[in-house]
Amino acid sequence: MDGDRAYKARTTLRAVRLLLKANNAPEGQISIDQTMQVPVGSGFGASAAAAISAVYAVASATGIKGTKDEIAYHAHVAEIQEQTGLGTVSVSYNFAGAGAIVKPGAPGVSEFVRAKVPRGTKIVTASIGPYRKSDALSNRATSSAINLLGDAALKEFLALPTLDRLAEEGERFSVALGLMTPEVVELAELGKDSGASYASQNMIGLAVHCLCPSGKERAVARALRGSRLRPRVDTFGIGGKKAGVQ
């Protein structure tokens, strides 16, 4: 991963093993070299993206047949078993833009409600390090809080499925969940003070994502880069299709 041969890509490894086992593949060795454009382990969905791309590459290289949904399913199962995400595989596989899952499940099963994204809107992110998601997801109290707060946030979003409502509920969710460290709070406040409309903790990572109206992203990125925490700062556009159920 990113040239680090010592990196233990647990979710990717499990996904590939599940794929090979399900298809009775012959024994052998496979080398996978991946490059990520976002920090790994910081709530950007990197483990999901890595697992999806790996199972597709391995299926192609070994001649494994199956639909895209069938192949991606192994990445979905692996992420759940390794506790490295909150249904991120289905989002990464099926959808783009901004919105929320309204029907959970594997690729091809889940459903997504998309919010319209105003032209020029950008996301500025700041990351200061990885977070062991399994520590949070294996905690019964935290898992219960995630479900309870998530259901409440989803209901509010569906009542008014706009980008502002989505960002507002995401911000409220991250604060109420209580996983924000003082450093993450500091970055979120810095993002909002410098022009972001909303700023929330990545789920789950020592990182924040700031929703920036057109023209505000440079000031936000500049402020975050100047933080005493010295975070990695990236700016992204928000792609996607029209609003509605996908």
pLDDT digits (tens, 9 = 90+) for 15-47: 999 999 999 988 888 889 999 888 888 989 888
Give the pLDDT score at 96. 74
Give the pLDDT score at 244. 43
Most confident region among 102-116, 135-149, 217-231 by mean pLDDT: 217-231
Average pLDDT, the chain: 89
For 26-49, give the secondary structure using H, E and C. Answer: CCCCCCCCCCCCCCCCCCCCHHHH
Give the pLDDT score at 240. 52
- Give me the torsion for CA of 146, 148, 151, 157, rounded to 10°: -80
Percent with pLDDT over 70 in the chain: 96
Q: What is the mean pLDDT of residues 149-159?
A: 95
| 3-state secondary structure at position 102 | strand
* Residues 30 and 16 sit within 8 Å (Cβ to Cβ): yes
Most confident region among 19-28, 44-53, 190-199 by mean pLDDT: 190-199
- For the chain, list the domains and their CATH numbers: 10-94 (no CATH), 112-245 (3.30.70.890)
Give the pLDDT score at 167. 94
* Residues 188 and 180 sit within 8 Å (Cβ to Cβ): yes
pTM here? 0.85
62 contact partners, CB below 8 Å, separation of at least 6: 20, 25, 30
Distance between CA 38 and CA 162 in Å, rounded? 26
Give the pLDDT score at 242. 43
